[in-house]
Amino acid sequence: MKQVFQYEAAVNALLFVLSELGGKSDMHKLCKILYFADQRHLSLYGRSITGDTYIAMQYGPVPSNVDDILKAVRGDSFFSGYIEELKDKLTFDNRYIIRALSEPDLDELSKTDLKCLSYAVKLCRNMNFGELTEFSHGLAWSNTARDRAISVKDILREAGDEEEYVEFIAGKIRLQSSLA
């Protein structure tokens, strides 16, 4: 079951989070903030903000498509389709610190998207690398083999949702992905 990636929402979510963090952040913190924002939005509103697939990496969940975008901007990815249109939006100060070069287009994010992104920024803002890693190693990450996709069902279970709701949202996502 794969969600439909929302490129514009994801890029603007990154820009919004960076603006909330003073204009720059490390990739690890950005990925964890997006994970917790997507998890909360999925739990409360039945859809994620980015539609990204989270991979259970060594240091916690990583949004697959966003990771590809960031690596392309950094210049160390074969996937370079986004570089031209993002060169005025994002840049790297070094290998891990990314900086926003523009403001987010808030028309690409709903009020609930912004609410969940702000929640996740507040949740993660003051955590260091080790704390964020440990905090993101919850049920969904633990139930997934390393370097494999984390199931939406486990993301919702980790959020504390009841099984009936978990199955309902999983069915909704299956339907949406079959129509995409």
Cα torsion 176, 7, 64, 157: sign = negative
Whether residue 21 is contained in a domain is answered as yes
When divided into structural domains, the chain yields a total of 1
d(CA 114, CA 16): 8
Per-residue pLDDT of the chain (180 residues; tens, 9 = 90+): 578 899 999 999 999 999 999 999 999 999 999 999 999 999 999 999 999 999 999 999 999 999 989 988 888 876 666 677 888 999 999 999 999 999 999 999 999 999 999 999 999 999 999 999 999 999 999 999 999 999 999 999 999 999 999 999 999 998 888 886
Whether residue 175 is contained in a domain is answered as yes
Query: What is the rounded radius of gyration, in angstroms, for the C-alpha atoms of the chain?
Result: 15
d(CA 50, CA 113): 9
- Is 0.85 surpassed by the pTM of this model? yes
Structure tokens at 146: 């390393």
Whether residue 2 is contained in a domain is answered as no
Whether residue 1 is contained in a domain is answered as no
Whether residue 136 is contained in a domain is answered as yes
**Best CA proximity match to 140, nearest among 28, 53, 66:** 53
Structure tokens at 102: 């523009």
Residue range(s) defining the domain that contains residue 80: 7-179
